Amino acid sequence: MAKPGRVSGFPEWLPEGQVVQQAVEDAARRVFRLHGFCGLETRAVEPLDQMLRKGEIDKEVYVLRRLHAQESEADSGLGLHFDLTVPFARYVLENAGRLEFPFKRYQIQKVWRGERPQEGRFREFTQADVDVVGRDTLPFHFEVEMAVVMSELLASLPMVPAATIQVNNRKLAEGFYRGVGADDPDAVLRVIDKLDKIGVDATERLLVDEAGLTTTAARSCLALAAIRTPDASFAEQVARLGVSNDLLDEGVRELAAVVEGANRERAGSVVADLRIARGLDYYTGTVYETLLAGHESVGSIASGGRYDSLASDGRQTYPGVGISLGVTRLVSVLLGHGLVTVSRAVPTVVLVAVVDEESRPASTAVADRLRRRGIACEVMPTADKFGRQIRYADRRGIPYVWFPDAAGDTVKDIRSGDQIAADPEVWCPPAEDLDPRVERALPTSDAPPRQEERS
């Protein structure tokens, strides 16, 4: 097999990086479960005709073909899912009769998009989604819970920089745009979505030229998008713009409720940011984005919103709200900028030394007894001199080496050099040594950013 190359946009990590990704996924699972979301996994593929109903995204789908398929059936009609929301909506429709509503689920899986790769953008990446859907109705307070859940998750990861969840509301935006005379509020939203990229002047021109606004209306919309407050005081700033519309008022009330509700539970977790638009057109209420302090350029690492009509079978609708953590994007920032350290790449706590090959079964028996008590062990692969066996452990970051001895076993902490008598039925390592530790890296002003990402 010739030396293989990497595939652009399909990142892989070294074992240390994988420990970081696993820590993020474990934390997500833990926090989601604490909030009562059940775990779900959907197939990786969806029928193309279902997926392509989401207009914007059709360029990016990977289509599947069996290698030896006949010409007449060149494509399977299946594509790899590009997010986890559309498959979840499909799953809910398919199984509605067997689910209890409101149905809360989390889903941690890979998704695929045939996009041009760039920093923070991949062709294959893992998302960790939580959503709740109701049947016909869904209480508003879940829009608060989503922000709280994501804030709790990010705060539980010590190596993640400060994250702020920015919240807006589609009703607020649409009502405002209608209030200033927009005929096509979606067109206004699509232009505002470009504000960060193209700047205020170009946005104002597009609002006039493409969205059909007057210059005065365009400037009002830009003034709205400039509002950002850590509390509900955005409402006064909106009021000062002098636009009157019922939908706007409803959106203002909802946004205030999310900001106040989430900050009551987790102070400082959420800000109102009236620039947030979110590209996907299925959102109908609250929308979320999340930026990492100092790493804003990589884009949002956790996004989502309320959707009222994504899942409907014609008779019933299943309104929902959800938020999605970009696991791969987050991990690529942590690894690529050296923000994280890992105490070791292997789960192994103890290397059991081997005196000679004849006595290997005795070493294996020690390992077996430690494992029964939850202590991860390896048995030394070869009966080398003990100095080499200790170096074997040291190179892997394994903290302890166990020496079986008919006269009484000993275990050595190879970091301190301390060696003590030990019984495999009794000895325990300190709790902090049981699993690899994932911690925030100390800032090193002179170190260049590490390129751990293997894409």
Residues 124-153 that bind its own copies (CB under 8 A): 124, 134, 139, 141-142
Q: Which residues in 293-424 belong to E strands, given as ranges? A: 302-307, 320-326, 340-342, 350-352, 377-379, 400-403, 410-413, 419-421
Per CB under 8 A, 38 contacts its own copies: yes
345 is a contact residue toward its own copies (CB under 8 A): yes
Q: Residue 292 CB, nearest distance to its own copies (Å)?
A: 23
Distances (CA, A) of 216 to 120, 177, 222, 353: 37, 12, 10, 78
Specify burial of residue 395 (Cβ count, 10 A radius: 0-12, 13-18, 19+): exposed
Write down the residue that tokens 């960790």 correspond to: 128
- Name the nearest CA neighbour of 296 among 322, 273, 280, 266: 273
The residues in 376-435 that bind its own copies, with binding defined as CB under 8 A, are 376-378, 381-382, 395-396
State the Cα–Cα distance between residues 75 and 18, nearest whole angstrom: 34
Counted residue by residue, the chain has a size of 455
Does residue 117 contact residue 111 with C-beta atoms inside 8 Å?
no
Instruction: Return the structure tokens found at 344.
Output: 């070791």
Phi/psi of residue 347, each to 5°? Answer: -75, -15
Say if strands 163-169 and 340-342 run parallel, antiparallel, or are unpaired.
unpaired
Tokens of 429: 């390592």
Q: State the binding string over 239-268 for its own copies (x if CB under 8 A, else -).
A: ----------------------x--xx---
Our CB check for its own copies shows the closer of 58 and 231 to be 58
CA distance 452 to 345: 14
Q: Which of 36, 199, 268, 408 binds its own copies (CB under 8 A)?
A: 36
Least distance to its own copies, CB of residue 82, Å? 10
CA dihedral sign, ordered 36, 42, 44, 46: negative
**Pick 139 or 279: Cβ nearer its own copies:** 139
Report the distance separating Cα 337 and Cα 443, nearest Å: 10
The CA distances from residue 198 to 47, 133, 273, 359, in Å, are 36, 36, 18, 71
Closer residue to its own copies, CB minimum distance, 89 or 206: 89
If the CB atoms of residues 57 and 187 are measured against its own copies, the closer one turns out to be 57
Kindly tell me which of 250 and 394 has the beta carbon lying closer to its own copies. 394
By CB under 8 A, the residues from 46 to 85 that bind its own copies are 47-48, 50, 53, 58-69, 75-76, 78-80
Residue 104 vs 306, nearer CB to its own copies: 104
Q: 147-182 as b/e, with b when 16 or more CB fall inside 10 Å?
A: bbbbbbbbeebebbbebbbbbbbbbbbbbbbbbbeb
Q: From residue 98 to residue 117, what is the string marking binding to its own copies with x (rule CB under 8 A)?
A: xxx-x-xx----x-x-x---
For its own copies, the binding residue among 229, 341, 343, 364 (CB under 8 A) is 364
437 near its own copies (CB under 8 A) = no
* Interface residue with its own copies, options 43, 240, 415, 450 (CB under 8 A): 43
Min dist. Cβ of residue 354 to its own copies (A): 10
Q: Is 362 in the site for its own copies (CB under 8 A)?
A: no
Peptide bond into 102 cis (omega under 30): yes
If the CB atoms of residues 38 and 239 are measured against its own copies, the closer one turns out to be 38
Indicate the residue among 45 and 172 with the shorter CB distance to its own copies.
45
Beta bridge partners, 133, equal 103, 320
Given candidates 196, 210, 368, 439, which one binds its own copies under the rule CB under 8 A?
Answer: 368
231-239, 245-253, 300-308, 374-382 -> range binding its own copies (CB under 8 A): 374-382
Helix or strand (DSSP H, E) at 45: strand 45-47
State the nearest-atom distance from the C-beta of 11 to its own copies, in Å.
8
Closest Cα to residue 367, out of 343, 390, 401? 401
Structure-token pair, residue 281: 């057109």
Give the shortest CB-105-to-its own copies separation in angstroms.
7
Segment interacting with its own copies (CB under 8 A) among 211-219, 240-248, 291-299, 308-316: 308-316
What is the size of the binding site for its own copies (CB under 8 A)? 98
Residue closer to its own copies (CB basis): 201 or 357 = 357
Tell me: does residue 118 bind its own copies (CB under 8 A). Answer: no
